[in-house]
Amino acid sequence: MITLESWLEKITDWYQNRKHDQDETLQKLILSAPDSIWGPEVTEQQSKAIACWLDGCLRLFQSMRYQDPTKAYPFLQLASSKLQATASQPIADIELRDWSMKRLQHLTVLALEFCNQQPQADWQQESTMLIESHVQFMAAHSWNEPRKHDQGNRRIH
């Protein structure tokens, strides 16, 4: 398995040398990300890696959303599922969990907008399911409640 340091070097290299036709390279990087990206501790490397990983998912989604929506949407789903898993880790740093929840809310809005722009009825069903599952997830985690005094106030990306 690839180490966080090695993966971060590869994604940094991709950013420095990227061209419009490098989606395949980025896909491989996104799909080979090490588990340490998701915590449980927050380090400078981990923080940079998770931000790059999420940005990569969004770049892949954006590059495919108009020509091939069925290939684009899974990158939003992948990002959402990883952020849900991170936010659900009881041993994860509270700031990492909070960061994940906030990004998850943004991804959900993006996914809803995307689904509602698609003409096929299947996408409208996906939109409804997305709303229901997001509401259930947020309620189960009580994340819209005010922060408690012991939850910290440090921010990451």
In a domain, 122, yes or no: yes
In a domain, 148, yes or no: no
Domains held by the chain: number: 1
In a domain, 129, yes or no: yes
Confidence of residue 108 (pLDDT cuts 50, 70, 90): very high
Surface-to-core class of residue 100, CB atoms within 10 Å of its CB (0-12 exposed, 13-18 middle, 19+ buried): buried
In a domain, 156, yes or no: no
In a domain, 18, yes or no: yes
In a domain, 153, yes or no: no
* pLDDT for 130 beyond 70: yes
In a domain, 17, yes or no: yes
CB neighbour burial string for 30-59, b if at least 16 within 10 angstroms, e if fewer: beebbebbbbeebeeebbbbbebbbbbbbb
**pLDDT per position as a tens digit, 15-45:** 998 766 678 999 999 999 999 999 898 899 9
Which domain covers residue 18, as residue numbers?
4-142
